[in-house]
Amino acid sequence: MNPIDRRTFLGQLSLATAAIYVPRYGFSSDGQAADFVEVDTAYGRLKGMRNDGVSIFKGIPYSGRVSGDRRFRRPAPLESWTGVRDALQVGPPAIQAPRRNEPAPAEDCLFLNVWTPATDNRKRPVMFYSHGGGFVIGSGASASQDGSSLARNFDVVVVETNHRLGLLGFLYLDEIAGSDYAGSGNMGMLDITAGLKWVHDNIAQFGGDPTNVMIWGESGGGAKTSCLYAMPEAAPYFNKASIESGPGVRMTPRDVAAETTAMLLKELNIAPKDWRKLLDVPAVDLLTIQGKLPFVPPFQEKNRNQGTMRRNYGGFGPVVDDVVLPHHPFDPGAPAISLNKPLLVGWNEDEYTFFAWERKDTEFTKLDFEGLQKKLEPPYGTDAAKIVDTYRKANPKSSAPDIFIAVSSITMMGLGSVDIAEKKAKQGGASVYLYNFGYKSEKKIPGTDYAMGTPHAMDISFKFNNEIPPRDGSAPKESFFGGNRPERFAASHHFAELWTTFARTGKPAAKDVPAWPAYNLKTRPTMRIDTTCEVINNRFNDELAMWRSLGKL
């Protein structure tokens, strides 16, 4: 299998993440009855639960209806309620395959969850997270991204939304449907923006500071964060950002989005002039049709051949529509609208082992260097020899499988991350900080003796500080990806402290971690996050020079 086949990325990710992250909701995490806590919002009073030092509110509506005549449009206004509304269970996720232990997916999915140390008048930093799953699956209720530990251990407020995904969130109708559907190709992004506005208007009641909001996200959530960073409508509601393993340098151009819409209408046998028939198609049928069309990965390759891009990409994701998203997030440069907003960006060292695990790909572990070159020839042609030679010289102790993972991982998530860091540094505004997550899990890819290392998505539970010993003193359970070694607890604490300090001050820092210099184009410092963290200057210098020579960076 092509190691960096980006067209299949979301298809693989969709299947895998649904299996990995099993969300939990209800009362306390230990099964004990939790105390209730109430808070006022602009729309009515809410009842949440207080457990183990954290107040938790789940399933809060942040905007109105998006079904019926609101499909593909901005939401209806949120209606106030009388009395006290329960906020004890998560709301339904966006239309997708059913998610274990969550309500049935629904069109009307605009709900969010809040974790806070206390509903007092403290002005804590707010960490507004966008979930992964590309642009087609996921929710703000996954267990690995439970915000309790961050709120409890680092005195921050965590917010996560459900928002429209896939066809219902990103179908581009602007050219055929009229002014009521302006921005239709970015409804999923506008939902997230509505969540940010709700935070601005209400989070003070939850102990948060509406003037100190960090947006962050992993994989597809990183790409969503990249878009928010460039969106005028989102700009007033956050002041810093973190893009993690999802460098959204470029998004879908209008003409490609229009072609995707034409493919959909043809599949449904609907003439463009009769597009309103889309409003009557059951959501479950739209989901079936969505599965027949291409996926949009949370990155797009540097577009050197528009015709190739047309063939390879389509599907449903944010659209560069000159209105909601005026231009590509980081192409040709960092967005001027966020000039003064600090940024974190980076990736995991062994991203590709996730996909090897998901695809049950064990063949790469048997590669020798001759076989490695042959495996890289389909995507790289005659450049494959140069790639292998460069990586062997830069990493003389690495095996052929190691180099395969390194090449696949950096091309998936690393080159875009470096591109963003370079462009933000060149902009000369607020600082940008580049990182690699490198804690090595000892868990093996099934059917092999090859360790997972630092796979895609492993960072989620670490940065949320959910890799911690049980609070009841019982023996720790094995982490899904992180393994059994107790050293993972230190790595998780470092990761979480760096991110929460950045949320608080705009500069990442942590106890027992070296000072993290802002990225610059001379020394190019990168923080490697692990049990022991270190700053590495000019990391991957030879490899990146080679990728630049090939026009990949």
Supply the residues annotated as catalytic: 219, 351, 456
Any idea which residue has 């964060």 for tokens? 225
Helices 283-290 & 254-268, crossing angle to 10 degrees? 120
What's the CA gap between 399 and 439, in Å, rounded? 19
Say how far apart CA 324 and CA 321 lie, in whole Å: 6
Category of 538 on φ-ψ map: left (φ > 0), alpha (ψ -120 to 50) or beta: left
Q: Which CA distances in Å does 228 have to 93, 321, 328?
A: 21, 14, 11
Backbone φ and ψ for 212, nearest 5 degrees, come out as -135, 80
Contacts with 133 (C-beta within 8 Å, 6 or more apart), sequence order: 13, 14, 17, 165, 219, 220
Q: How far apart are CA 103 and CA 160, in angstroms?
A: 16
Burial (CB count <10 Å: 0-12, 13-18, 19+), residue 447: exposed
CA nearest 162: which of 198, 131, 201? Answer: 131
DSSP one-letter string for 196-245: HHHHHHHGGGGTEEEEEEEEEEETHHHHHHHHHHT-TTTGGG-SEEEEES
Measuring CA to CA, which residue among 15, 28, 18, 12 is closest to residue 146?
28
Instruction: Provide the H-helix boundaries in 291-349.
Output: 306-312
